[in-house]
Every structure is written in C-alpha cells, then in structure tokens.
Chain A
Amino acid sequence: AQTVTQSQPEMSVQEAETVTLSCTYDTSESDYYLFWYKQPPSRQMILVIRQEAYKQQNATENRFSVNFQKAAKSFSLKISDSQLGDAAMYFCAYRSPGTASKLTFGTGTRLQVTL
C-alpha cells in the first residue's frame, strides 16, 4: 500500500517570503498522480496543484509550484510571495491511475503566515 509522509507538522513564513512544504511517498508503481490540497479554517478542501508522474516538468499554478523528484519519491510545494490567505493546513496526496483508485493523504502541515 502507498504511504504519504509530511514531516513538518507546522511551518511559518513571513508575508511576501517563500516557503517550501515537504512531502515524500512510498510506492512501487511507476505511474501515479500527486496532489497538494489546502484546507483553510473554513475547512473547505481546495485543490492547489497536481502532478502526473509521467511528466518530468514540474507543475506550476501562479504562486504555487512543485519540485517533483520521482527517483527520490519527493513532492514538495513551494509557495512564493506568501499571503495571509495562504495560512491553512496543506495536505499532500497520492493516487494510483485508474477510475476506481483512491486518494491517500499525508498527515498535513499547518502553515502560518506572519506580518
């Protein structure tokens, strides 16, 4: 079974600065999908970014980008120009290919953004 590990329970960043959240995973599959979700205090889970394992290019969505290292099974999220609204829990998630496959979540990283 796949596992997802987020080793940073909490992180803090100053407004306008850059922060990187770590995620590692364990799998024997060669094809899969990785995601970062954000859960603000309102508890609505929001998809931030996704990465297909077969793509070498790192995904980017505005201020959010990933560093995908397939050999190292690492999938970190970089948030540039941090804003107060970025404060939330961030969950890394893994999914196998196939319509019936399920998301496996990490334990989450709580990000604080300070002035």
Chain B
Amino acid sequence: SAVISQKPSRDICQRGTSLTIQCQVDSQVTMMFWYRQQPGQSLTLIATANQGSEATYESGFVIDKFPISRPNLTFSTLTVSNMSPEDSSIYLCSVKDRGSYNEQFFGPGTRLTVL
C-alpha cells in the first residue's frame, strides 16, 4: 500500500489567517482526495484533487475557501483560507493506489485548531 505523509501534523491558527497542508505519497497514484473530520464526527469528502486540472469539490465546499493544488501524481496541497473556529477539524489526505484495486488509503491527518 502507498505510504502517505502530511505536513503539518497539527497547528493552532488565528482566525482570518490561512493554512496550507501538504500531502506526499511515496508512489504515483491515480486519485487523491481531501477529507474533513470534525471533532467526534465521521469523514466528509471536501474534494478530489485532479492532476493538472482544477479540483472537483463536493457540495458545500468551494474553491475560494479550500483551494487545492496537485502539480504531479505524488503531491497535493489543501489550503484552508480565512479560517474561523468552525474550521477546527482533522484534515486527511487519501489516495487510491494503482496497485490495489479499489482500495483507498489515508494519511495521518492534520489536526487544525482555530482560535
């Protein structure tokens, strides 16, 4: 399975600022995803990061708030913009491994606290 790392692992930010989260995979993958997990909740898909094109956002999530980049097949970033306390969550990067049909793997997550 793919090995996924995320930076930072956690951060505490002031409202109104932005944070960029990085996701690095140790192999080329076809699909990368960004999820949000609010405290005590399940995972909600924010968007699919498409290599070389704009990300595909789920209902309730917009590019201005969560801009995503995917410059190549092993790397993606998610920015949480103009943060408010409601953005305090764990943000998880996930990939679909080319070698594991229909299995999806997750990074360790970034715990974000907005004050």
Contact = CB atoms under 8 A, between A and B. Distances in A.
Contacts of B45: 102-103
Given A44-B106, A44-B109, A99-B96, A105 B33 contact: no
A108 B42 contact: yes
Interface of B: 1, 30-31, 33, 41-43, 45, 48, 90, 92, 94, 96, 102-109, 111
Nearest to A45: B106
* In the A-B complex, the 5 residue pairs with the closest CB atoms: A45-B106, A105-B42, A43-B109, A105-B43, A107-B42
Contact of A95 (B30, B43, B102): B102
Given A91-B42, A91-B43, A108-B42, A103 B90 contact: no
A7 to B, nearest CB: 14
Nearest to A9: B40
State which size class the interface on A falls in: 20 to 34
A44 B108 contact: yes
Contacts of B43: 45, 91, 103, 105
A100 B104 CA distance: 12
Contacts of A91: 42-43
Given A102-B45, A106-B42, A33 B102 contact: yes
Contact of A43 (B31, B48, B90, B102): B90
Contacts of A42: 108
Nearest to B105: A47
B96 A43 contact: no
